[in-house]
Amino acid sequence: MTPALRIHIAAFVFLLMMAGGAARLIYIETSEKDFLQDQGDARTIRMERINAHRGMILDRRDNPLAVSSPVVSLWANPSELPSDVEQLQPLATGLGVTVEEFRDKMRRTEARNFVYLRRRAKPQEADAILSLGVPGVYGEKEYHRFYPGGEIAAHVVGFTDIDDVGQEGLELSFDDWLSGKPGKKKVLKNLYGEIVRDIMPVAEAIPGKNLRISIDQRLQFLAYRELKSAVEQYRALSGSFVLLDVQTGEVLAMANQPSYNPNNRIQLDLSSVRNRAVTDVFEPGSTVKPFTVAVALDSGLAVGHEIDTSPGYMKVDDNVIRDPRNRGVLDLGGVLAHSSQVGISRLALSLNEYDIWKMFQTLGFGQATGTGFPGESSGFLPNRRRWKDIERVTFAYGYGLTVTPLQLAAAYSTVASGGIKRDTTMLAGQIANGQRVMDVRVAQQLQGMLGRVITEGTGKKAAIDAYSVAGKTGTARKIGAEGYDDTRHIAFFAGFAPQYAPRFVGVVLINEPKTAQVGGGSIAAPIFSRVMANVLRLLSVPPTDTREAV
């Protein structure tokens, strides 16, 4: 075969190959275009999640108590990461680990295609790491919850977990309201998984709704400050303070000690997380004596009805009930003012025990208060078929039943409102419908008697200059391994101000003070006085006692 012929044959073969290639391109263009386009899109077009912004929690004056700020979570696909140590070194340094630690982690998770490197990094920190351009490293926009008030309102507001889901407090109970609905969008990504451009939105992200609550941050701070100081001063296990608006049932302040900082939960003590004002129950002691007196007044006894407490003690079944000293003859107001155990016991034995039980039940003991707060306790209200005499008298002065500080505040709010019972609420502007559960005459008579507790009785340290105050002290022994322990006490004060036409109810509880003085009059009453005095002046309540101090 001549060289010329070989050249012609080679040219012919080349032309055949060119023709075959052209034919193949035409076939692909006409018959397989859609298939190939779909395959290409599957490798470059992705569906990206759009995280939704969680709603803010605001106090009644629109001050933020919980807000969400944008952050970036860094993640990696281990199979896409380079094996070159020099490429990984800047990444490991930026993450604050050694290259060996980083590679060990990636080896342990190499079967996965998604591994978090750092959750909720500040945008500038995340940008610095992403700008390194390490293949297989990506960023996802998220939101981080921040609590401007720190531990001051922590028990009320609660907190969210790292995925922005409510875990405690109002963050939990109103999680559906606060949570937004994530959206989706189509994006075009390059070879390294970086978003080149947004193609189209598929579903818009719906932000969560804001929640405006009844707490006034200014009043919350006042309660928190005084309570924290008192718990430290008296070396107590814990303490609670609740402040209610008498006219609306709104919770204006709710503080507990010990507290915690929701912005820093690295070494969080779980015992400090619960909202003790609604979850912990206590025997209320003498703070329920006014409600026993209310039963007597409702039965027809006059305010001036007298009870002889001599000789200062009495035997009931096999037990001896004692007063600190013989107080002789006392009217009903005197029994409350001096918190006479003998006086209230003799009164209780003259009344039908089921009437006393019904009064306690009507005031809300043994039932939730209506706030819907997670973990709220209903307390315990015994309902015996037969009552021993000792059970009748101890029940009448606050033993054998348990209540929360919030329940006790709600009961005193009923007296302060003239006999109208309202559900308590944590939401601003949500005024609960009231129901009359106590005769207005009885409520007003109790208001007068509780004023005597301050002016002449055990609650003198609850007095406030220029304002008339009403309330009741309480000191309850706690149950120990062998019955009631004389060395462990709870100090209470429950009251309202001003005495007539009351505006606010406050309840103070100090759990197990470790000082010489353990009574509600010496420990809890001064806390009430300091907080309530500031509340009345801050909210411009006119003075009710304009007499000049002597």
pLDDT one-digit tens code per residue, 2-15 = 766 666 666 666 66
Q: Is the pLDDT of residue 200 over 80?
A: no
Q: Length of the chain in residues, anyone?
A: 550
CA atoms of 346 and 330, how far apart (whole Å):
12
Which tokens is 360 given? 């306690």
Query: What pLDDT, on a 0 to 100 scale, did the predictor assign at position 26?
Result: 62
Let me know: does 64 contact 148? Beta carbons within 8 Å.
yes
Query: What pLDDT, on a 0 to 100 scale, did the predictor assign at position 25?
Result: 58
Query: What pLDDT, on a 0 to 100 scale, did the predictor assign at position 545?
Result: 72
Let me know: does 519 contact 473? Beta carbons within 8 Å.
yes
Domain with CATH 3.40.710.10 in the chain: 217-538
Q: Quick one: average pLDDT of 181-203? A: 64
* CA separation, residue 436 to residues 14, 361, 445 (Å): 104, 14, 16
Q: Is the pLDDT of residue 406 over 90?
A: yes
Domain with CATH 3.90.1310.10 in the chain: 48-212
Residue 521 in 3-state DSSP? coil
Domain 217-538 has CATH 3.40.710.10: yes
**What is the β-pairing status of strands 483-497 and 470-480?**
antiparallel
Q: Is the pLDDT of residue 378 over 70?
A: yes
Q: Which position has the token pair 């409520």?
A: 443
Higher pLDDT, 470 or 141: 470
- In which band, very low, low, confident or very high, does the pLDDT at 187 lie, cut at 50, 70 and 90? low
Which tokens is 66 given? 């919980």
Residue 20 in 3-state DSSP? helix
Higher pLDDT, 176 or 133: 176
Query: What pLDDT, on a 0 to 100 scale, did the predictor assign at position 77?
Result: 87
CA atoms of 412 and 200, how far apart (whole Å):
59
Q: Is the pLDDT of residue 274 over 60?
A: yes
Query: What pLDDT, on a 0 to 100 scale, did the predictor assign at position 156?
Result: 97
Q: Quick one: average pLDDT of 187-203? A: 60
Catalytic residue list = 286
The DSSP secondary-structure symbol of 298 reads H
Query: What pLDDT, on a 0 to 100 scale, did the predictor assign at position 11?
Result: 63
Residues 6+ apart with CB under 8 A from 68: 53, 54, 56, 143, 144, 145, 146, 164
Residue 231 in 3-state DSSP? helix
Residue 447 in 3-state DSSP? helix
Query: What pLDDT, on a 0 to 100 scale, did the predictor assign at position 288?
Result: 98
Give the tens place of pLDDT for each residue, 286-335. 999 999 999 999 999 999 999 999 999 999 999 999 999 999 999 999 99
Give the tens place of pLDDT for each residue, 408-460. 999 999 999 999 999 999 999 887 678 999 999 999 999 999 999 999 999 99
Q: Is the pLDDT of residue 185 over 80?
A: no
Query: What pLDDT, on a 0 to 100 scale, did the predictor assign at position 407?
Result: 98
Residue 423 has a CB neighbour count (10 Å cut-off) of 17
Give the tens place of pLDDT for each residue, 207-263. 899 999 999 999 999 999 999 999 999 999 999 999 999 999 999 999 999 999 999
Give the tens place of pLDDT for each residue, 149-161. 999 999 999 999 9
Let me know: does 272 contact 262? Beta carbons within 8 Å.
no
Mean pLDDT for the chain overall: 89
Give the tens place of pLDDT for each residue, 336-365. 999 999 999 999 999 999 999 999 999 999
Give the tens place of pLDDT for each residue, 53-69. 899 999 999 999 999 98
Phi/psi of residue 477, each to 5°?
-80, 145
Query: What pLDDT, on a 0 to 100 scale, did the predictor assign at position 180?
Result: 83
Q: Which contiguous run of DSSP H or E holds residue 211?
A: strand 211-212
Give the tens place of pLDDT for each residue, 28-53. 565 555 655 555 555 567 666 677 88
Query: What pLDDT, on a 0 to 100 scale, did the predictor assign at position 549?
Result: 44
Pick the CATH number of 48-212 from 3.90.1310.10, 3.90.420.10, 3.40.50.150, 3.40.50.720: 3.90.1310.10
CA atoms of 417 and 387, how far apart (whole Å):
32
Give the tens place of pLDDT for each residue, 92-109. 888 988 988 888 888 888
pTM assigned to the model: 0.84
